[in-house]
Amino acid sequence: MHAHVRRSGSSSPALAARARLLLADEPTGQLDSETAASIMRLLRSLVDATGLAAVVSTHDPRVAAFADRVLEMHDGRIVPAAVGKRPVGSKG
């Protein structure tokens, strides 16, 4: 496991409590691309397996590609962007 992920452990309490909503603000922002993809595959599998809802903020289109729904913010307003397309090799 990447040192940053080990250190933060930020999602552990929410998952242990069987939360139904996970809020993640730039969860891969400080990670290398390989680790970021691994974290997003893990999050995607949790959503698929448990019905967890995840709201993830990002500037990275590779992270957004894991989403079922993508919204963008322009001039302080939320606007629909696109339906998420899962990366090649992911389930779904």
CB within 8 Å of 76: residues ≥ 6 apart: none
CATH topology of domain 3-83: Rossmann fold (3.40.50)
Please tell me the predicted confidence (pLDDT) of residue 89. 43
Which DSSP state fits 27? T
Report pLDDT digits (tens) over 7-49: 445 555 655 567 899 999 999 999 999 999 999 999 999 999 9
Please tell me the predicted confidence (pLDDT) of residue 16. 59
Pairing between β-strand 21-25 and β-strand 53-57 as defined by DSSP bridges = parallel
Report pLDDT digits (tens) over 46-91: 999 999 999 999 999 999 999 998 888 889 998 877 554 444 444 5
Distance of alpha carbon 63 from its chain centroid, rounded?
A: 6
Please tell me the predicted confidence (pLDDT) of residue 55. 94
Please tell me the predicted confidence (pLDDT) of residue 41. 96
Domains of the chain, by residue range, sit at: 3-83
Q: How is residue 72 written in tokens?
A: 């963008």
